[in-house]
Amino acid sequence: MVMIIAAASGGGWIDDAIASLHAGNVYVDPTVKGSGSLTEVLNGIVPTDGTVAVVVLPANANIGLDYADQLLDELTKAVDQQTVVLAVGNDLQAASVPLGQDAVRIANEAEHDAGGDLQDSLTTAVTEISAQLPDAGGSSGGTGGADVLMPVVIGGVVLIAAAGTAIGLLARRRRRAPASPPVNTDPVPAGIRLRVSRLRELAPSYAAVPGNPVAAETAASIDALASHIEQLFARLDAKAGEDQSAMAEAEYSDKLARLVAALDRDYLLDLLTRPDLWDDPEERIDEVREALNAVTTQIVDNIKQVNARKGLLFQVSLDSLIGRSELRDWERQFKQSSGD
């Protein structure tokens, strides 16, 4: 089933949202504008096969977060649904195991096309994401859903029940449905995707180091960085021009290559597990961790700039890593192996 959730007012937005899964399929925070009508509309379009969770939170739920996608990350870890659509104010986010970056693209396009209308962006995103999921077409929740249009044959008489809202949503789905899927819908450039994939390969190696809090923290930071990179380019693809995407690609291609070299098993991981074999191990470890945090912070700032329709600002330099000759060698090898 699709769960539509929004937390009760207060600090524990995610705790309340997750708890509401046990109470019903639709929960809209009463402080969200138009919560009653939004609940009714969502009740009419959500499927009931347990594939999607949709979470609606007020805009101030973003206050005090450690990073931009923290609420989405916490939800995806806590719910059983493999696809999560999150609305925080008018900001739509999405994560999906079966659809990958397509879900992010649909959510961003729906937000952009809606022009600030939360109900319109949500109904569009939920409808289109649900339609593209494998085995889509199951029954929707409530009598206002698309399934009420399915003919029911009783004694040779065809009875068709229709609802105006459902008809409008189905018409919109037909208008938006592409004639054929694009060959490559990944908004992350190929070179950046290679570095993201390498980051995701490295994170489990750090998490597997026993009794080392720095390694465990690094694993979490690597995962967060990979997620932020994907969010940045997905939002650039949906909300910004090609020049901004090209600028971000040029900025982060070299920086991520250098950072991946520093995070690789032959450097930081070895420093953490065998510091006795290195000169100045603590200084080297601090350099890499500071670089990781600096790049992550800049990417989060860039995401905020994209959301605010501002130009991207780049202020991070990895001078401390550039000064390490062994990292220059490994960076060059990484670029050669990736075809850059």
Q: Mean pLDDT throughout 330-336?
A: 53
Task: Tell me what the pLDDT averaged over the chain comes to.
Answer: 77
pLDDT band at 163 (very low <50, low <70, confident <90, very high): very low
- Length of the chain, please? 340
Q: Give the per-residue pLDDT at 184.
A: 56
Q: How many CB atoms sit inside 10 A of residue 285's CB?
A: 18
Question: Tokens in use for 254?
Answer: 């070299």
Question: Tokens in use for 206?
Answer: 């750090």
Residue ranges of the domains in the chain? 3-132, 190-338
Q: Give the per-residue pLDDT at 169.
A: 47
Q: What is the DSSP letter of 140?
A: B
Report whether 126 contacts 141 (CB < 8 A).
no
Is residue 272 scored above 90 in pLDDT?
yes
Of the two residues 334 and 67, the one the predictor is more confident about is: 67
**Which residues pair with residue 53 across a beta bridge?**
3, 84
Query: What tens digit of pLDDT does each residue of 97-147 get?
Result: 888 888 888 988 888 888 788 888 888 888 888 888 887 544 444 444 444
Torsion of CA 302, 303, 309, 315, to 10 degrees: -10
* Pairwise CA distance, residues 74 & 72, whole Å: 5
Report whether 292 contacts 214 (CB < 8 A).
no
Q: Give the per-residue pLDDT at 140.
A: 45
pLDDT band at 220 (very low <50, low <70, confident <90, very high): very high
pLDDT band at 218 (very low <50, low <70, confident <90, very high): very high
The share of the chain scoring above pLDDT 90, in percent, equals: 29
Q: Cα dist. 87→53, 219, 335 in Å?
A: 11, 28, 38
Q: Give the per-residue pLDDT at 319.
A: 73
Beta strand 83-88 with 52-57: parallel, antiparallel or unpaired?
parallel
Lowest mean pLDDT among 59-68, 243-252, 273-282: 59-68
Placement of tokens 């995962």 in the chain: 223
